[in-house]
Amino acid sequence: MQAGVPVLGDPKSVQASWLGSSGSGARIGIQRATPPFRRLELAYLLESRELAPLWLLDRLRGKTDQLIVRATQRRKPEGEMEILPAGDRALKRLKGETIAPWTLSEAPHGLVIARRGASNRQVEGAMPFLEQYGAALKRLSWGPKDPHLLLVLRLSDLPEADAAPLFEAIRRLAGGEAAQ
């Protein structure tokens, strides 16, 4: 992950810390992020491996190693978008909202896009990301509330390679131009 950080911001503005023990995960904060971001936080959370019963319980609950990206953008997004796996319980809540209803559509890899407001550009920008990384997606939430972008990915479904291409895809997803 560390090698891909320059894609997201100034490496000198990075603050890193362990979450719990070094076997639980870590957090990387980037204060001077590359546009379209103002600041960014990456966290990777590892499933418990120390105690077999706890590991089994987490597995039964669907918990796996995750990468979580929280980003504040330089400009607030105009619309709102949630992208979730088709069977996710949060979709039921979104479908039930009547005051400001969500429009639902299918996406690659069995995902559902829920959107409302002026979100057409966000949906269009998300499609290349979903085609490439949608199999690993647990949740993508994007809207005017800080953090503007919340992205949760299963680490086990991401390619085992340099993180720079993933981080560049996240920048493009959020409206950033490709790095030169």
Could you tell me the CATH number of the domain that includes residue 111? Answer: 3.30.70
Position 22 scores a pLDDT of 55
Same domain for 33 and 113, yes or no, is no
Let me know: does 131 contact 115? Beta carbons within 8 Å.
no
Same domain for 61 and 37, yes or no, is yes
Position 111 scores a pLDDT of 98
Phi, psi for residue 16 in degrees, rounded to 5? -120, 145
Same domain for 53 and 95, yes or no, is no
Listed as ranges, residues in the chain with pLDDT below 50 are 179-180
Position 177 scores a pLDDT of 59
Same domain for 71 and 149, yes or no, is yes
Position 23 scores a pLDDT of 64
Same domain for 47 and 3, yes or no, is yes
Q: How many domains does the chain have?
A: 2
Q: How far apart are CA 83 and CA 105, in angstroms?
A: 10
* pTM, to two decimals: 0.89
**Domain encompassing residue 103:** 77-143
Same domain for 8 and 71, yes or no, is yes
Same domain for 29 and 66, yes or no, is yes
